[in-house]
Amino acid sequence: MLAFRSEAHLDRWLDDRGHTRGATLSVAQQWELARIWYRDRMSPDYRRRSPAEAEAVFASIGLTGSFWRLT
Amino acid sequence: MVERVVEDNAVRLFVYRFFVEHGRPPMPVETASALQVSSAEVEASLRRLADQHLLVLAPGTPYVWMANPLCALPSPFRVRARDRDWYGVCIWDALGVIAMLGSDGTVTTTCPDCAEPLVIDVRDDELYAPDDRCVVHYLVPAASWWDDIGFN
């Protein structure tokens, strides 16, 4: 998961390496995902999310489709 | 079985709390001393935690590489928070360090294409990104992240 200055920079980086484009997020989406994902990590009650729970987190910030599928 | 799960969670919690207090993960012997168990028990517990993807060990060792979002090794994703430098293995984890610590913080990375610095601030839970055009890219689909957690 890398951050690029713009879509143009990402496209050039992908072309240079022959990589296929995966999925893109805005920085705001990435911050929201980080907040949801990690805010309780130091809690004694923390437990790893099930695949379905993780997919629900992704969907809550608009990340849907086969790229985000875990089940 | 229930008792073992409790012990593993105690090890997990100790690793995270030690990491946050000292800026590095504990050695197994330090965890063993604190929890009053043997190093062998701690190492077995760390392996179970790694098998469950609750932390990541350096390959072939009992040493913690990642207690996500914290990464024990320097990476291109440096985080400044609580008057200390931290590292996340990716942009998700770098922002996750700030989220987990519940503090203000700054993520500094570089654009992989042009090497220009990208600085992202979080203050009072609000994000301040350098440019609206900045974009995060995930190369590997979610189902394959744990195939090679150091490369995503």
Position B50 pLDDT exceeds 50:
yes
Based on the structure, what is the number of domains in chain A? 1
Position B5 pLDDT exceeds 60:
no
**Does some domain include residue A34?**
yes
* Whole-number Å distance between alpha carbons of B74 and B70: 10
**Does some domain include residue B151?**
no
State the first-to-last Cα distance of chain A, in angstroms, to the nearest integer. Answer: 21
Write out the two tokens for A17. Answer: 């390496």
The residue of B113, B118, B127 whose CB has the most chain A CBs within 10 angstroms, and thus the best one to mutate to test that interface, is B113
* Whole-number Å distance between alpha carbons of B63 and B20: 16
Q: Kindly state the percentage of chain A with pLDDT values over 90.
A: 99
Range list of H helices, B72-141? 91-101
Q: Kindly state the percentage of chain B with pLDDT values over 70.
A: 94
User: Which chain B residues are within 8 Å of A35, Cβ to Cβ?
Assistant: 95, 99, 125
The pTM (predicted TM-score) of the whole model is: 0.93
> Which residues lie below 8 Å from residue B48, measured CB to CB, with a gap of 6+?
B4, B8
Domain boundary, last residue among B26, B46, B67: B67
Based on the structure, what is the number of domains in chain B? 2
Position B151 pLDDT exceeds 80:
no
A–B interface: beta-carbon pairs under 8 A:
144
**Does some domain include residue A19?**
no
User: Which chain B residues are within 8 Å of A68, Cβ to Cβ?
Assistant: 141-142
Position B66 pLDDT exceeds 50:
yes
A4: nearest CA partner in chain B: B111
**Does some domain include residue B147?**
no
Domain that holds residue B43: 2-67
Task: Kindly state whether residues B119 and B78 are assigned to the same domain.
Answer: yes
**Does some domain include residue B148?**
no
Domain that holds residue A60: 24-71
pLDDT of residue B131: 79
Task: Kindly state whether residues B57 and B86 are assigned to the same domain.
Answer: no
> pLDDT tens for residues A23-33?
999 999 999 99
Is residue B19 within 8 A of residue B26, CB to CB? The reply is: yes
Give the domain CATH number at B98. Answer: 3.15.10.60
Nearest alpha carbon to residue A38 among B93, B129, B137 = B93
